[in-house]
Amino acid sequence: MSRRWLITGCSGGLGRVLAEAVLERGDQVLATARDPRSLADLVDRYPQTCRATALDVTKEGAAAAAVALCEQEFGGLDVLVNNAGHGMLGAIEEGTPEEYRPLFETNVFGVIETTRAALPALRKSGGGRIVMMSSGAGIAGIAGDGYYNATKFAVEGLSEALAQEVAPFGISTTIVEPGPFRTEFLGRSMRVAAVEMPEYAGTAGLRRRYRADHDGQQAGDPQKAIDVILRALDAEQPPLHLPLGDRAYTLARTKFTAFLESMDEWEPLAARTAFGDT
C-alpha cells in the first residue's frame, strides 16, 4: 500500500533525498520548506503524487495548516517526518541568546508543534509512523556542540515518551540518529557563534576546525541512509532508536560503556538513598 507523507525541511539534505525516494516508489508526499520554490522540480517530476507548501515550523499555526493540506490533497496522513532543523557550533560561554534561542525554536518547539498538529490525523490512519530526525549529537555531548546537543537530547526524551503514548493507537515512533553524512549540514545548515574565545581553542574550537575541514567531505552516503530508514519504517515493528553510520554507533557504545562502568563503581553507595538505608 502507498503511504501519505508529510516531510519537513525538504529543501536539501536527508529530507530532500527522503522525499525523492518516497516519491520514486509511488507514495504521496507533502514536501515542505520555508521557501517552496526550492521544491518546484519535485512537483514537476511527480505531479500526481507530490504537493509542496511553505512551512516554517516556528510560526504559529503553520504546521496545522500543512497537516490540513495533506488531508485535503491525499485524504489523510500516514507518516510524519520531523526533519527541519539546523546546527550551531560554539562553546557554551561563547553562545548568546540571540544565537541559541532560535535553535531551540526550530529544533525543539517546532518539532513539538508539528507533532501535536499531526497526531489527530495519524490516529485516524491507524498504523502510522513518526520519524524524529535526531543526530549522533542526541546520543552523546561533544565540546562545541553543546547547544545543538541540548536540542537533540530534548528530541530524544520527547520521542521516547511519545512512543509510549501513541503505541496504543498503532503508531510507531523512530528516532533517527545519523553520524556525518555528505549533506549541506556543515554548510548552510550550520550556525556558528560569533564570539570565538581563545580559552576554548583546544575544546570547542576543534569543532569549528572540524567543520572547515569536513564540509562536503563527510563519509556517509545520504542515499544509503535513506534506504535504511525506509527499510526500518517498512518493518512490522520499527526500531525506536536508529543510529546511522559507524560514527553514531561508536558514539553510542563509548558513552554506554562509560555510563555502565560509572554505575557499577558508584551503585553500592549511590543506590542506597532510601530512608533506613545504611
DSSP H helix total and E strand total for the chain: 9, 9
Contact assessment for residue 29 and residue 19, using Cβ atoms and an 8 Å cutoff: yes
Look up residue 30 and give its amino acid: L
Question: Environment class of residue 4 by beta-carbon count within 10 Å: exposed (0-12), middle (13-18) or buried (19+)?
Answer: buried
Q: Look up 152 and say whether it is catalytic.
A: yes
Retrieve residue 236's grid coordinates.
512490522
Retrieve residue 15's grid coordinates.
529530507
Active-site residue (options: 134, 135, 159, 172): 134
Closest CA to 9 of 44, 62, 43, 57: 57
As a whole number of angstroms, the distance between CA 141 and CA 150 comes to 8
Contact assessment for residue 181 and residue 218, using Cβ atoms and an 8 Å cutoff: yes
Active-site residue (options: 100, 152, 159, 200): 152
As a whole number of angstroms, the distance between CA 97 and CA 229 comes to 34
Active-site residue (options: 100, 148, 159, 200): 148
Chain-centroid distance, C-alpha 260: 26
Nearest 5°: the CA angle 171, 167, 246 is 75
Q: Give alpha helix (H) positions in 75-170.
A: 97-104, 110-125, 146-166
Q: Look up 38 and say whether it is catalytic.
A: no
Q: Look up 134 and say whether it is catalytic.
A: yes
As a whole number of angstroms, the distance between CA 177 and CA 168 comes to 24
Contact assessment for residue 140 and residue 255, using Cβ atoms and an 8 Å cutoff: yes
> Which residues have a catalytic role annotated?
134, 148, 152
